[in-house]
Structure 1
Amino acid sequence: MTIAGFFAGLRTRSRSLRFRLVALVAAALVPALAFDGWLTIQAARSERTQIERNADDKTKEVMADIDHEIASSKATLIALASSQFLQTQDFERFHLQMTEVARQLGVEIVLRDASNGKQLVNTIVNWGEPLPQVTTPESLDSMREALESGKPSVSNVFYGSVMNQSVITVGIPVARGGANGYYLLVAIPLDTFAAALSNAGLPGQWTVTLIDRGNTIIARSERHSDYVGTKVKFSFNDAGSAEGVNFGLSREGEDTRWTWRRSAITGWVVSIGVPLALLEAPQNSALINYASASGALLVLSLALTYLLSGYLPHSVGTLGIDRTPTREEFRILFESAPNGVLVVDDKRRIVLTNEKIDQKFGYDRAALTGQPVDILFSERFLDTSAASANALVRLKPPTSGDRSVYGRRKDGFEFPIEILANPIAPRAGRFEIVTIIDTTPRMQAAARLQAAVSERDELRRRLMQAQEDERLRLARELHDETGQTLTAALLELKGLEIQYNEAGRSRIRALRERMDEIGKSLDRIARELRPASINELGLNTALANYVSEWSQQFGIPADFLRGGDFDLDTLTDEQRTAIYRIVQEALTNIAKHAREATSVSVVVGRAGGNVQLTIEDNGAGFDTAVLNGQSLNGQTLTGNTPAKGRRGLGVAGMRERLALIGGELEIESSIGIGTTVFARIPANIARLSA
């Protein structure tokens, strides 16, 4: 067939031809633009996720600072309680000592009689002057709590009439003659906490709020004086957890994501609010920019195609009689296509090509005309079966493993392509317009993305290894240095007992008991950081010991079983550490969220070619939909419903550990029945066999 014959066969209505060409260009552009849009959205979502993680980390950091402030106040009171002036009831000198400490700290310190609550010494009142005896209910409740428990107590917010401002108090009972004789407290102005929150280094538009156990605002990083002492609407006491996330309006009227965390020391809550507008800004900006750019590109491409295609066929007369487009008109249409385009006749020969096809495949201009279309593809992609006998472009369907098709240049070089074939049936015969898109840039982008993911996984692996190394270092320091120092101090105290009377020896023995408890706590923390038994006794013994110690600590019956005849210690260090940490995290979750459980089992066994770790409890259970951020019947996940924030971070950590070693995590749970955690780790079972 000649070119002239082909043109003669293209007599069809101009509007139909124009719309077909526009559709062809749209079919080539839309998939690429959609893929770019997906990448844009994923990048924006990752940025939002990072902001949320930063808010969670900042909440922990601020809470640690507040707890440190309260612990410092307790330490100050304990130091004052041991004053010889207080023990000898020399209140005038004790007043001088208290006043100097209060002046340095910017607080008020008060000594009360434990029997009637009356003030004996007050640093704001000069010695000898009448002492105020007005006591607020909050202060009395805090004193009663400390005297009954024998431990330090922290009050809620109340108005201190002597200091003439809202304060909180930290108090401790002071023994006298074997009983609680005094109550020593320090009143801290709320401005102290407001200054700490303002200096927390939060990004702009973030707000951090400190709230007491009665849902009253203690301090706020923004507009502290306007809202201090007011109540918050959300009841943290009803949340039933130590941390969480909720959404609502801020005091400034902005929709806000609140990340909150409760202190185990004070019961207070630190809540950091990030405006949703700030969280959604990256995605909104990315979508606007992408929509503008892609929309402009698509409209411009389609408009250009539509306009240029108008020069090919021109209808004249009221009856719409068509005429044959000129060679020049047809050439403009072909050359304006954004990708390579060619036409194949019913004998599978190339009739027409545009310049992009010739350049991409390395042929001289028009050198492909009259050649079989199979010359453009590698032989391994050609389909010679009877099923493709009627196809003009005969290519095998992609396999499940490799869905790529490769074009072959004149010099034999192969490159990845996509093919869009559009059959047409002019009078001259059967043809196909074939659009060929070079997907090399897309595959290179995918390769770069895969390399970035691999680099990220390697970074995570190094971070986890650094974490394990740091845990080991801390464990050694706690055991070798701090433990030895504590032992030396205990021996020194024992030697001092003979130098004091019975009252002094009693106090020294009490101090030794406290230090002994501290030593046991340090030893337990060191073992949890990095139990030496993993390397010394092996993973199997380490797991058995940890499960037994956990059962004794929390009073929940638990057993450990290793199924199968294989040696766990032939696993890699990374795999053994992952198994141990997953058991730790799973048992920690049970201790936090399933204390009502009466049976816990930890089993390590085989599952096909994998090592399978199973941790099962018969606790209250939960709906696993919350781990994926789903809601239950459209209701907010609060109250007795386990919120995503309570388990999500621990589960995410377990999934991340397993992903780095090629493993996977599965959680099954039913409310009222219990929870089962499955961790599967790929391993060569034959190599592990004992």
Structure 2
Amino acid sequence: MRRRFPIAIHLAIFGLTILLPAAAAGALVAWRLASNERVRLERTAHDFVNDLSQDLDRELEVVMGSLQALATSPAFRSGDLESLDKQARQVAAQLHAAVLLRDSHGQQLLNTLVDWGTPLPVSTDADVLNADRRAISSGQPVVSNLFTGTLTGQRFVMVGLAIELGGKPGYVLSVSLTPEVIRESITSALTPPDWNASVVDGNYRIIARSRQHERFLGVEATRSFQENASSGRDLWRGVTLEGMEVVSLARRSRLAPWWVSVSVPKATLEAPMWQLMSGVAGLTGIGLAGSMALAFAYGRTLSGPIRAVARTAAGLARDEEAKPPESAIAEVQAISRALVNASDELRRRAQQRDAALRSAEAGEQRLRATYENAGVGIAEIDDQGRFVAVNDALCSITGYPRAELLGLRFSTLSAAEEVATDVDLFERQRQGEQTSYVVEKRFRRKDGAVRWVRLFSSAVSGPEGFSYAVRVVLDVTDERLASEHQALLIAELNHRVKNTLAVVQSLVAQTLKSTSSPAAFRDALTGRIMALARSHDLLSESEWKGATLDTLMRTTLNAHDGPEWLRATIEGPAVRVGPRAVVSLSLMAHELATNATKYGGLATPQGRLRVSWSVTEDNRTLQLQWRELVAGQAEPQAGRAGFGSRLIRLSIEQELNGRFETTYEGGFTLLASIPLEILAR
């Protein structure tokens, strides 16, 4: 005989079959998103190091230009060094540098770092002499590596130019820049605080650094930098001089024997992945725990209506018309009506979508007549994939003005991962393999926003074959969002169906156990289901966003004391109750009001009921008091608590994570303390 399991087991298995694939898909999506973010950061670093290299070269070009301008001074031809010294000091002041003149043996003839006439030394630094020889032999400006000045002992880099003095060759005019000037060049651009930009000379010594510049000035770069930079690699993983794992990018300067490098911490690149994966793991764990708890807490009866509603909900995904059976349970019937309404709405939107598609196809056929006034984007693409004509609608969709779109390749607008597919489809159309095609794809606007479009492309051929392609572009972003919203609506509806029916099932089972006759069972169950219905009415009115405590209490007591409010008083500050807590508090208040009607403050015309609450000074706890004023109300005899008492205790202590106590002095009194954080859920 085939073994059969209770509905709780089946619900648990069903929950797992839904959650586990969703969790796997969520993990995959998180991994893809993190990978895309990593690629974006690497691309940003790549662009940044290129910009730094270009900025540095522009600085060097300014220095070279100033040096070449100074070299045209007549003082060089006449050999008037004193006049030349005055001109050199002006250039040095403008560049925040030092200007020097040396002969082929390194003897300094002019140095703006000291006063004119001061005896000058012979430059002996190998990097300086090597740069002088290259300048004399090439006749072009040259840039040196980092060196230590003979006169001041300060570190410099030099831009040198071979010149003639008094008609004699073999002299070098140079501008010496401090590393601080180079550092200002690479730190003027805005960089993330944990990135590091560096300039390294041809001897792999650090010239400038955006972080800890003074500490590492002149220090030799790491071995991984030397190996990768010398081999021509522009991106690698390594460790900085501080011992931090990074991804490094390097570009060789166009004018100097230097490298410009940017290092991005490995932790920065991997942070998005860990954050997303942790979020997915946490949500998966919460989902699994909640699913198992609900599955084993609910579901022993009412399997027939549940299966009928489930079949109806499943049919919505297959575009079937919703025809749920009639049910005697008000909540099930309400859900059935909601499913019918959802089915009608889905069909209406599907008809709208089909109508929009038919309208787009008809618009393509009338393209020439309605080109400039069309409500969709229209473009003509030449055989090189460039825009040769566009309308205003396409400019609006892409965010580009007409002047910028014309001449731009269509692949520029495609999302990076769709470029290859888009180019392949166009190439097949250009070769005559297909005359037209339709595709839904993403456009990246000029401002960086992404829009979904439906693209119709048709080839226009002449005597010699392909002439150009006509493209009609329809923005379907709102349609996409509507489809996603429909799927979310169905999932939320299924979830609420299960929760409501499970609560009803539990109420039936527990009421049956705690009543002694069919009539008592009917009255107790009817009251509790109506209390549940009232809580759902409150939630429906607020679109399941919760209700105020005052509204909840007044709605509950209205069924017992009537709208005249002759015997009940309700007072307290405004407190918002979340959708989960609304159900628990409504059931608790119903049980208390039922007892008050039978035995307590609402049982006699002289009795009174006062419900009040307050919030503690730390704004963390709700203090709720249910006070019945009736003479002669006796404390019930000790014994087994009824389901109503158990329901009150379950609602306060387990569902709301609170605590309470009761007394019978002058009438029944209940004092409850409930965390506001739990109450707001």
* Greater RCO structure (CA 8 Å; 6+ sep): 1
Name the TM-score, length of structure 1 as normaliser: 0.48
Name the TM-score, length of structure 2 as normaliser: 0.48
Bigger Rg over Cα:
2
